[in-house]
Structure 1
Amino acid sequence: MSDHEINKTRSFIKMLAPTANFDSVLSFYYDETNNIRKSYVGEMGFNSPVTANFVLGGLVHEGMAPDVAPLIKSFKLQKTTKEVKFKHIAKGSFLDCLKSNKLKLFLEFIESSNLYVHYSSINILYWAIVDIVDSAIANSEASQKLGPPFSEYLKDVLYKLSKLEIDSITEVFYYFKYPNIKKKDVSSFIEALTHIFKDYIDTEEFHFGLESLRQILKEAKKTNSLPFIMEGDDYIIEDFSEFYLRQIYLFKYSTHTFDNENSISRILNGYKILDKSIEIKNYSFVDSQTNQLIQLSDVFVGLMGKLTVYFNTSTKEKIDNDFCSLSMIQRANIDLLVDVIEKSHNKNIGFLHSIDGNEERSKMDVISQPLKTTQNIDL
């Protein structure tokens, strides 16, 4: 990546998130969950459950790192345990994980120390469909004038429909080798996609969004062009290396320590990341057994992965009902998680990055009034 590309992208993100501080000198530690390497569509559907977000994140601090040995000792793990993993701290569904006293110790430590949390959370299904909306809007001057809120609304509507009609959506994707639609197939792809709308387009929930998208896609048919889904590889939605790269060049004055991930390491080694003609060498891959902060990053990321599955598979009404019957330890842990995320948001909004629909994001409001003012950078 050239210095022009890096600084252009950083400037664009800074414009979208003017209160974020990407220039601090920080130490980031990473682990990931639900890392499927590449997201692709096969004959039987997506290569992984679309209910689980890919989450890359962990712990971050400024200055000296706190001594986490007392925390790890407090977990009272078996002496044969070589490193702390999320499975040692909590197990089961998200709500089951909240029953863990070890999780409470972990979250209390983060809350009271100079450690913060950071994450990139990628909803795979939402990520797969957003380029359809962007491609349609690229063909419509009227839609472009309505700005990002209109675009985000259409993406959310298409995402909700895709959840309900996941088999039909993936069948269309596979048939047309999405996201590499051939020019001769644009019209047929649009017809197949909008055919899925028919059972929903007259409902109150979906009517305005689906009808708007259907009309915009009609304009795309006239040009035989859906620009953002015509130049990819057959079936391959994308790999996740871009989210590792994003952290490296966005927080270019910080250091980034990743858990060993050979496939990602090979990809990153293929890039020469330049800033003012100087190569950026601010990251490393290490064995997690040698780094306790990476081990604790696995705990946080594991919990966030469970949370995304819970949100992606639960209605707001179900979440509300679930949270009315939490035990004391569950309530304490969810409050601590909310406090830790809010503490990190207040420190630097740039720590929180999400590619997800408003439908899923808004579920955090159900479990936490304070987080109604918390934002995630969506880029």
Structure 2
Amino acid sequence: NNLSLIIKWIKENDIYIHLSTHCAGYIISEQIIDFINGSQNIGEKLSKKKILWELICRDTKGFADILMKFNYPSIAKENSSLFWGTLENWIGFDSYTKHIFDKSNLQDLTRLISIEHMKKLQSDLNNARNRKRVFKSTYNPSGVIQNDLAGFYQMPLIRFLYSNHTFDNEDVISKIMKKYPLTFNGKVINNYTFIDSKLCEEIRISDWIVGILVRTFKFLRKTNENEMYSFIRRLNTLQRNNIKLLGDLIQDSFIKNSNYITIKDEFGLKGKLEWITDFREYEIRAYLK
């Protein structure tokens, strides 16, 4: 009930949200497949990326532990073979294939294609391990894991240059802004201030909305179509209304200014968000039949 009250208050007071998604795991999955892919078939390449990305979503910590252990993307040459082997073991091809066969009809062409591409992904990793390939990032020399997240704080300042921005008075954010000063036409950009969140209701509401959105996107990244149907069927009326209100808030913000909402389409993330907040009842009923 508190959720619906707060979102309704936001809408009634013409407040809009600025939403930008970024997932290092998604970018890294693209990097890895681009580097080891042994096929020129674009569809197969995309399928491998999707498979790896789905596995990352289901075990984010396990994947992150591997990256940290081998100092990705600056993997030492002598550790390259072990890196690819560790990644292959983490994926667990045998258990993945068994899971697919146990849960599906052998005539399901989509699943059979996924298994075939999974086998080819395994072959790509084997080749990388045997050849001791040294990973080189094709995106930027420092990789994509951003320890200080400076870009996330700076982007709104640049995108909305003539607006006034407010940050919570935290040392981490303050140090980042001082470390990476921004300039425009030779002048320092200082269109922001720091305020203690205890004294600013808007910051507290913003933190609350961020928490809800983080949980929403984490759920969508880990959930496939069948699981989404099952989730929706279990919702009560209040829960459905709350999710619908959240979707309306995102949509209203996008209509107000398309730059307010930037969602990277991680293999259908946009579609999942639109689908689950719109509650396309006819699709649900058709599925249940």
Give TM-score scaled by structure 2 length: 0.72
Q: Is the 8 A contact 1:132 1:228 kept in 2?
A: no
Residues 155 and 357, structure 1, Cα contact 8 Å, conserved in 2: no
Q: What code does the residue aligned with 2:82 have?
A: S
Deviation at 1:175, TM superposition (A): 4.0
Once the two structures are TM-superposed, the CA of residue 135 in structure 1 deviates from its matched residue by 5.2
CA contact (8 A) 1:128 1:237 kept: no
Q: Give CA-to-partner distance per residue, 1:55-110, whole Å, 9 cap, x none.
A: xxxxxxxxxxxxxxxxxxxxxxxxxxxxxxxxxxxxxxxxxxxxx1x322222233
Contact (CA 8 Å) 1:133, 1:213: kept in 2 or not?
A: no
Answer whether contact 2:150 2:180 (CA < 8 A) is retained.
Answer: no
Equivalent residue, structure 1, for 2:82: 188
Unmatched segments (≥5 aa) in structure 2: 101-111, 281-289
Kindly indicate whether residue 198 of structure 2 is the aligned counterpart of residue 301 of structure 1.
Answer: no
SS of 2:51 mapped into structure 1: helix
The answer to whether residue 12 in structure 2 is matched with residue 103 in structure 1 is: no
DSSP 3-state at the match of 1:227: coil
Between the aligned partners of 1:337 and 1:349, the Cα distance in structure 2 is 17
Q: CA RMSD in A?
A: 3.8
Contact 1:176–1:189 (CA<8 Å) still a contact in 2?
yes
* Counterpart-to-counterpart distance in 1, 2:160 and 2:71: 36
- Opposite residue 176 of structure 1, the aligned amino acid is F
Instruction: Say if 2:228 is the partner of 1:319.
Output: yes
The answer to whether 1:179 aligns with 2:73 is yes
Retained in 2: the 8 A contact 1:119–1:352? yes
Is the 8 Å Cα contact of residues 197 and 210 (structure 1) preserved in structure 2?
A: no
Structure 2 distance, partners of 1:330, 1:165, is: 27
Tell me what 2:51 maps to. 157
Structure 1 Cα separation of the partners of residues 15 and 62 of structure 2: 45
Q: Secondary structure at the match of 2:180?
A: coil
SS class of match (1:116)? coil
Q: How many Å separate the matches in 1 of 2:215 and 2:69?
A: 32
Q: Is the 8 A contact 1:186 1:224 kept in 2?
A: yes
Residue in structure 1 matched with residue 170 of structure 2 by the alignment: 261
Residue number in structure 1 paired with 2:148: 239
Higher strand share: 1
Tell me how far 1:142 sits from its aligned partner: 7.4
Percent of aligned pairs sharing the same letter: 24
3-state DSSP class of the match of 1:321?
A: helix
Partner of 1:270: 179
**1:108-147 pair list within 5 angstroms:** 108-123=8-23, 127-128=24-25, 130-131=27-28, 133-134=30-31, 136-137=33-34, 146=42
1:341 positional shift: 0.8
Correspondence 1:348 to 2:265: no
How far did 1:343 drift? 1.0
Amino acid at match of 1:137: D
For residues 262 and 150 of structure 1, do their structure 2 counterparts lie closer, same or farther at Cα, with a shift above 3 Å needed? farther
Match of 1:57 in 2: none
Q: Structure 1's 327 and 130: CA in aligned 2 closer, same or farther, altered over 3 A?
A: same
* 1:13 aligned residue: none
Relative contact order, CA 8 A, sep 6+: which one is greater?
Answer: 1
Question: Would you say the 8 A contact 1:120–1:354 is kept in 2?
Answer: yes
1:198 aligns with 2:97: no
The CA deviation at 1:283 is 1.7
Report the counterpart of residue 105 of structure 2 in structure 1.
none
Deviation, structure 1 residue 242: 2.2
Residue pair 1:186, 1:221 contacting (<8 A) in 2 also = no
- Taking a change above 3 Å as real, the CA distance of residues 108 and 348 of structure 1, as seen in their structure-2 partners, is same
Shift of 1:287: 0.8
Q: CA 1:272–1:163 in structure 2 vs 1: closer, same or farther (change >3 Å)?
A: closer
* CA displacement, residues 177-233 of structure 1 (integer Å, 9 cap, x when unaligned): 333311333343223323435324696334326625854884798694422299659
Residues 16 and 249, structure 2, Cα contact 8 Å, conserved in 1: yes
Aligned residues: 263
Q: CA deviation at 1:354?
A: 3.7
Q: Which amino acid in structure 2 is aligned with residue 121 of structure 1?
A: T
Instruction: Assess if the C-alpha contact under 8 Å between 2:169 and 2:197 holds in 1.
Output: yes
Gaps of 5+ in 1: 1-99, 372-379
Return the letter of the residue paired with 2:5: L
Deviations 1:294-317 (A, max 9, x none): 222123222213323443554433
Instruction: Please state how far the C-alpha of 1:157 moved relative to its aligned partner.
Output: 1.8
Cα 1:134–1:315 change in 2 (3 A) is closer
- Equivalent residue for 2:161, pick from 245, 252, 256: 252
